[in-house]
Structure 1
């Protein structure tokens, strides 16, 4: 279990984490989401004792990480897959870690097999691909057979088979009653993996709930097909109701339940030949939650084309000018 109470971290005059409190329960996969700069990495580093909180406290399995006599047997973490001696082989890297915690060599072989590193275990880590480096980082996190596992972007660089393997792995670890804390920017993968979500924005918790509750809190949407969309649109108009025309006879309605739409259509004698409630995606729910918490905003795609067009026009003008000079 991970228990954070009032965590605050300030770098100079810049607050990175502001009064964060949460509990990561065993027996389920807890996802940790947030925009870049939201405080995710800082929070995870404080959990692992790599950064000291300015104030507040965080315990792992009832103790500060540094207070555990054999930390690898309590907590396994992947925070930076590149934090290895590149001149060492994968086997020697894991063996050195195991030796510092009195972990038997057999366990080294077990995690190498589990993570699919058998064919490259005797190769130098410096030559590993990003995906193989991730597998080595996961092997190191599992080396002590810990009760609590913390993984930051574990599927980064993995191929589809590797992504599926990580998904099944973390679910299996949670099913064994372990605490699994997982950070990722891949919304589609998080929606398939996590049972519970903690969302952070600008250093504060903005959501802490089962994933289904977060999805259900989105405004209800219903896909409606009718031969008289204009009549139904006018009849449904009201405060908190949004009706968007997707196709000539297809509407997407928000803020009204499917039954109420059917009753309205019946009262207006409008034929409805499809009425489908739509489940919000995790990406939609996440974007809605964090829309006011994003520190770095990208420009609209149209601007790219505008700037490209301007640059292209400039190049043509320069070429034309050059041609004119050459003719003089």
Structure 2
């Protein structure tokens, strides 16, 4: 288990992590999300004792990382896959790590096979691809058979098979009752892997909840309607918080109205409906809504173009938009 209490980190006048408190529990995969510069890496470094907090504390299995007598057996982490001696082979790198904790060579061989490094174990790490370097970093994290595993961007550089392997690995570790804490910018993977999310923005926790609760909390009813005269539905459905996107002449998306009301309105107004599909908000959509005010580094289009869909707000009947 990882427990942070009012954890704070300042660099001069800048507060990178601002009094955050959270608990990462065993038996589930907890995802750690946030925009660039939000404080994710700093928080993970403080968990691993690589940065000292300016205030508060964080413990792993009840103790700060530095207080564990055999930390590799308590927590394994992948924070920087490039932090290796490039002239060593993968096998010798793992043997050197194992020697610090009296871990036998048999365990070294186990993690080499588990991470798919068997064919390159005797090759120098300096010649590894990004994906193979990631696999070595995960092998190091698993070397001590730890109760807690922390992985920062573990699928970076991996091929589709490797991405799927990391997904299953994280879920299998959690199913064994271990604490699994991972970060990723790939929302599709986080949606498939994580049970619980902690979202940080500008150094503060802005969400800490099961993944479905976060999606549901950011979503309004959104329905795709295909009909012969879909725009004839707009006035009867008008109301505060109701909006629509015209996708095609006979296809619109209506937000803020449930499908039953749309169907009843279509029947009453004589609109022939061919399709009425409730749409599920994706994790990426929910994340973007949740963090839109927390992004420190904004990107802008080089050449603005006409949007594919026209967004309109349906006014309350009798009012001008």
Please classify the TM superposition score into its range, dividing by the shorter chain length: over 0.9
Tell me which stretches of 4 or more aligned residues in structure 1 moved more than 4 Å: none
What displacement does 1:273 show? Answer: 2.2
Superposition pairs of residues 1-328 of structure 1, within 5 angstroms: 1-217=1-217, 218-302=219-303
**Residue in 2 aligned with 1:307?**
none
Q: How far apart, CA to CA, are the structure 2 residues paired with 1:36 and 1:207?
A: 16
What displacement does 1:303 show? Answer: 5.9
Q: How far apart, CA to CA, are the structure 2 residues paired with 1:67 and 1:14?
A: 28
Deviations 1:123-162 (A, max 9, x none): 1111111000000000000000001000000000111111
What displacement does 1:100 show? Answer: 0.4
Q: How far apart, CA to CA, are the structure 2 residues paired with 1:211 and 1:92?
A: 40
- What SS is found at the alignment partner of 1:236? coil
Higher helix share: 1
Structure 1: which 5+ residue stretches go unaligned? 305-328
Deviations 1:220-262 (A, max 9, x none): 2111111121210121111000111111111101111111222
- What SS is found at the alignment partner of 1:171? helix
- RMSD over aligned CA atoms reads 1.1
Q: How far apart, CA to CA, are the structure 1 residues paired with 2:286 and 2:202?
A: 17
Structure 2: which 5+ residue stretches go unaligned? 306-321
Q: How far apart, CA to CA, are the structure 1 residues paired with 2:245 and 2:15?
A: 41
Deviations 1:175-213 (A, max 9, x none): 111110010011111111111111110001111111111
Q: How far apart, CA to CA, are the structure 2 residues paired with 1:130 and 1:190?
A: 20
Q: How far apart, CA to CA, are the structure 2 residues paired with 1:261 and 1:22?
A: 42
Distance 1:261 1:303, change over 3 A: closer
Q: How far apart, CA to CA, are the structure 2 residues paired with 1:81 and 1:220?
A: 42
Q: How far apart, CA to CA, are the structure 2 residues paired with 1:277 and 1:216?
A: 14
What displacement does 1:40 show? Answer: 0.1
Q: How far apart, CA to CA, are the structure 2 residues paired with 1:110 and 1:227?
A: 63
**TM (normalized to structure 1)?**
0.91
Q: How far apart, CA to CA, are the structure 2 residues paired with 1:259 and 1:77?
A: 49
What displacement does 1:271 show? Answer: 2.2
**TM (normalized to structure 2)?**
0.93
What displacement does 1:270 show? Answer: 2.2
**Bigger-Rg structure (1/2):** 1
Distance 1:4 1:106, change over 3 A: same
